[in-house]
Homo-oligomer: A and B are copies of this chain.
């Protein structure tokens, strides 16, 4: 059973400006004051988990313990079953320190060759408390990979991903539509229903 959110302050356990903005907007309707790990000067824990849920949990727990307040963290990535799950939890790291996703996409395309191009995005959202309690919610969106990449919107692997039922890649899709069908939206909805609604 998930623990309902009761406090008035929530730490966003992230140093990524985009993620902080997105997560803050999500909980804004519930009158929650948001403060980020960056603002608090918290360090980033090493992501040693073997799953998205594991990494989200360790980031949220670390944030909650450090800030002595409930903390929300996100871990997400692209899973290609024909590549035995790659790039998976290493999705961001494969793009290197320069976040060069053009190279990362090229690499996936090359490795895939004639294999099955189905893929899915995963987002794990973890809400942790200073006493160690943590609830995790996992969202997914299934689709397939196209080549060449298309579109300037979104980020990461978006330009090569077409969600089931769509024609456009996540790099081309209207952001509002993307945010309604994405893995992050799926995880968000589960979190909100269980802890905030």
Contacts and interface: CB of A to CB of B under 8 A. Distances in A.
Interface in A145-177: none
Main secondary structure, interface of A, reads helix
A24 interface: no
Nearest to A91: B50
Contacts of A87: 50
A47 interface: no
A14 B53 CA distance: 34
A81 interface: yes
Contacts of A81: 81, 85
Interface in A5-21: none
A110 B111 CA distance: 31
A122 interface: yes
Interface string A66-84: 0000000000000101011
A38 interface: no
A8 to B, nearest CB: 32
A89 interface: yes
24 contacts: A50-B87, A50-B90, A50-B94, A50-B107, A50-B108, A50-B111, A51-B83, A51-B84, A51-B86, A51-B111, A52-B84, A53-B111, A54-B111, A81-B85, A83-B85, A84-B85, A84-B88, A84-B89, A84-B122, A85-B86, A85-B88, A86-B88, A86-B89, A88-B88
